[in-house]
């Protein structure tokens, strides 16, 4: 937690000091306003012969009346500037940590968890300062000043007031923290469950509807929401009970100050005129103490927010990043690689070397570790044993530079809800319109785009639903052409396409990628004739390797698979 607070507090010390000065200043001005007002009322009630006799308190009331809101405003300005500056740095830090895990994000976090992290935890931390730390700090400083000020007149009264105010400043917040700790933690868990459940429900809404169980899904959500409401009601009830105790102690403090005033007046320490002044000061003091208990009771939820942020940090790649990108031509070397997920070995002793412009297929049935090998190539994971290098540089040390060397075409490329032009330009944001059109022509999309109502400025709706599978792959392929990487990784890019569209796409892919290294991950043999080397994986090992013709001739298993895919060849 310290790690997510200390550096920011240090970096914005100036704003923090200003916040404290203005905040305490505003509260002192509020006390002084009521003090001088009390004096002014008492003095005026004695009918001073001349207005000049109360001239000074009148000016002071005006001065404090104006300075209080001004200082309050300045305090808000400084505290919000501090919080916004800190939050923006925290946000950048969180995004940077998530970015290093981008390729494995979906496997590591549920989408609801991520939303909770970004929307809830981070935003929530602004309350940590604005609603908890600052008010508690101001109240504490004011508590000290009030007791010292009273101690100047009477030590016993100061001690008694220290005791009463102590209940408000220390005991009630402590009780609130103790009693609400579990409720707050439960609330955080239920809220995370709600986020998770809702994202899951939205993603799977079609399936709920089609299975005729939409009502059941809604009832499930209502149950979680009801649990959340019950927890909120419990916290609310304990806040009400604390409020009653607060009012009783506050009343006792006012009575104590009345007694103090009259005692002082009787022993002629000061004139009875000052009694009202001392009593009225209690009001802004009590107002400052009021929000502390509620604020402190939220501490456990900040704790969990910090814990989740630290967990993300702990999971981010800890390897030393490579500082210089290797220069081409590029050879990829996979040497004796093994990989485990949670102690379960999915790749064993895998070795391959891919030369520049080589066309390579990683073939194997579902679950043999093909995609895992792809992720090792992209540097998303560090191998458990062995190395994956490009011109001698370990892939997992390349981090975001990987995208300069390897482009990826997946089964379902994501199309963003913007124009086709922008969607293609994603491959290289500095590409001109002419370069985008050139790429679209190469992947044979240009004519289709020209027929759309706004041509290249036609918007791709969310998830790209207006395009067919083949068209989406071509848009993604055009992106890859603009990205200009020497290596392209294709992970089942033609799955789900009809055989004619598939063959047309394969033809385009090999035509436009002829001068690049192509790594094709698949369980199906459609593109094998274009490959220089095919590696057949089985149970995480390379069972056999060779060209399409060699394997057809020498490997019965390969031949059988080919016959299943293409029975009439």
Q: Return the residue of 327, 366, 430, 465 that touches ligand ATP, per CB under 6 A.
A: 366
Closest to 334 (Cα-Cα) out of 386, 276, 283, 289: 386
| Rounded to 5°, angle at Cα 394 from 391 and 395 | 95
Nearer to ligand ATP by C-beta: 95 or 341? 341
CA distance 384 to 540: 13
> For the chain, what percentages of helix, strand and coil (3-state, to nearest 5) are there?
65, 10, 20
3-state class (DSSP) for residue 498: coil
Nearer to ligand ATP by C-beta: 131 or 523? 523
For the CB of residue 290, give the shortest distance to ligand ATP in the complex, in Å.
Answer: 50
Give the other-Cβ count within 10 Å of 541's Cβ. 15
**Token pair of 563, please?**
């016959």
> Which DSSP letter does residue 419 get?
B
Judged by CB under 6 A, which stretch of 206-214, 370-378, 390-398, 557-565 contacts ligand ATP? Answer: 370-378
Examine residue 370 and tell whether it contacts ligand ATP (CB under 6 A). Answer: yes
CA distances from 463 to 67, 343, 423, 429, 467 (A): 55, 36, 12, 20, 9
CA distance 310 to 355: 41
For the CB of residue 472, give the shortest distance to ligand ATP in the complex, in Å.
Answer: 19
The 281-320 site mask, x for binding ligand ATP (CB under 6 A), equals ----------------------------------------
Examine residue 458 and tell whether it contacts ligand ATP (CB under 6 A). Answer: no
The 494-523 site mask, x for binding ligand ATP (CB under 6 A), equals -----------------------------x
CA distances from 510 to 177, 488, 546 (A): 65, 11, 19
Quote the longest CA-to-CA distance of the chain: 121
Q: Return the residue of 23, 284, 300, 369 that touches ligand ATP, per CB under 6 A.
A: 369
Q: Return the residue of 36, 37, 79, 368 that touches ligand ATP, per CB under 6 A.
A: 368
Judged by CB under 6 A, which stretch of 16-24, 306-314, 340-348, 391-399 contacts ligand ATP? Answer: 340-348
End-to-end CA distance of the chain: 65
CA distance 159 to 175: 22
Nearer to ligand ATP by C-beta: 89 or 541? 541
Q: Return the residue of 55, 73, 95, 341 that touches ligand ATP, per CB under 6 A.
A: 341
Q: Return the residue of 304, 371, 384, 419 that touches ligand ATP, per CB under 6 A.
A: 371
Q: Return the residue of 14, 204, 367, 496 that touches ligand ATP, per CB under 6 A.
A: 367
CA distance 14 to 205: 50
3-state class (DSSP) for residue 70: helix
Which parts of 100-119 interact with ligand ATP (CB under 6 A)?
Answer: 107
For the CB of residue 432, give the shortest distance to ligand ATP in the complex, in Å.
Answer: 37
For the CB of residue 543, give the shortest distance to ligand ATP in the complex, in Å.
Answer: 13
For the CB of residue 361, give the shortest distance to ligand ATP in the complex, in Å.
Answer: 13
Token pair 């599978």 is at which residue?
469
Examine residue 48 and tell whether it contacts ligand ATP (CB under 6 A). Answer: no
Token pair 């002084």 is at which residue?
32
Judged by CB under 6 A, which stretch of 162-170, 242-250, 360-368, 396-404 contacts ligand ATP? Answer: 360-368
CA distance 519 to 476: 16
Footprint on this chain of ligand ATP (rule: CB under 6 A): 107, 341-342, 346, 364, 366-372, 523
């Amino acid at each position: 937690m310290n790690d997510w607070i200390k550096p920011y507090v240090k970096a914005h010390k100036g704003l923090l000091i200003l916040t404290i000065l203005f905040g305490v200043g505003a509260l002192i001005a509020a006390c002084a306003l009521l003090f001088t007002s009390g004096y002014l009322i008492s003095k005026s009630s004695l009918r001073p012969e001349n207005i000049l006799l109360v001239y000074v308190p009148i000016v002071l009331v005006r001065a404090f009346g104006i300075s209080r809101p001004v200082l309050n405003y300045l305090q808000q300005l400084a505290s919000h500037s501090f919080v916004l500056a800190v939050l923006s740095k925290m946000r950048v830090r969180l995004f940077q940590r998530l970015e290093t895990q981008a390729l494995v994000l979906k496997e590591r976090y549920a989408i609801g968890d991520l939303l909770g992290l970004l929307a809830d935890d981070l935003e929530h931390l602004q309350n940590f300062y604005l609603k908890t730390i600052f008010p508690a700090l101001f109240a504490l400083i004011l508590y000290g000043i009030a007791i010292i000020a009273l101690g100047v007149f009477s030590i016993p009264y100061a001690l008694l007031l220290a005791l009463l105010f102590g209940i408000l400043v220390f005991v009630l917040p402590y009780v609130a923290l103790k009693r609400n700790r579990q409720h707050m933690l439960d609330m955080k868990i239920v809220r995370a469950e709600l986020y998770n459940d809702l994202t899951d429900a939205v993603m799977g809404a079609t399936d709920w509807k089609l299975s005729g169980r939409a009502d059941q899904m809604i009832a499930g959500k209502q149950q979680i929401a009801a649990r959340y409401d019950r927890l909120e009601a419990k916290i609310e009830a304990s806040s009400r009970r604390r409020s009653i105790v607060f009012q009783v102690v506050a009343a006792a403090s006012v009575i104590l100050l009345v007694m103090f005033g009259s005692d002082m007046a009787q022993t002629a320490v000061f004139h009875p005129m000052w009694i009202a002044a001392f009593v009225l000061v209690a009001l802004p003091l009590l107002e400052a103490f009021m929000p502390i208990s509620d604020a402190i009771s939220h501490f456990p939820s900040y704790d969990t927010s910090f814990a989740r942020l630290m967990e993300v940090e702990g999971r981010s790649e800890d390897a030393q990043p490579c500082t210089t990108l290797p220069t081409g031509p590029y050879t990829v070397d996979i040497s004796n690689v093994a990989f485990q997920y949670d102690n379960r070995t999915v790749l064993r002793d895998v070795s391959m070397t891919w030369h520049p412009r080589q066309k390579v297929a990683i073939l194997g049935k579902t679950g043999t570790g093909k995609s895992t090998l792809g992720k090792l190539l992209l540097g998303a994971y560090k191998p458990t044993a062995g190395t994956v290098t490009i011109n001698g540089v370990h892939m997992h040390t390349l981090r975001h530079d990987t995208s300069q060397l390897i482009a990826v075409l997946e089964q379902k490329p994501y199309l963003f809800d913007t124009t086709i032009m922008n969607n293609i330009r994603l491959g290289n944001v500095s590409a001109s319109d002419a370069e985008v059109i050139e790429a679209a022509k190469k992947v044979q999309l240009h004519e289709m785009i020209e027929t759309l109502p706004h041509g290249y400025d036609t918007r791709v709706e969310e998830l790209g639903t207006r395009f067919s599978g083949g068209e989406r792959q071509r848009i993604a392929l055009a992106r890859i052409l603009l990205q200009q990487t020497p290596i392209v990784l294709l992970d089942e890019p033609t799955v789900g396409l009809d055989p004619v569209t598939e063959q047309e796409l394969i033809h385009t892919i090999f035509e436009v990628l002829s001068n690049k290294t192509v790594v094709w991950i698949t369980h199906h043999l459609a593109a094998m004739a274009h490959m220089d080397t095919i590696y057949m994986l089985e149970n995480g090992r390379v069972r056999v390797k060779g060209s399409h013709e060699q394997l057809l001739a020498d490997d019965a298993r390969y031949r059988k698979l080919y016959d299943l895919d293409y029975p009439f060849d």
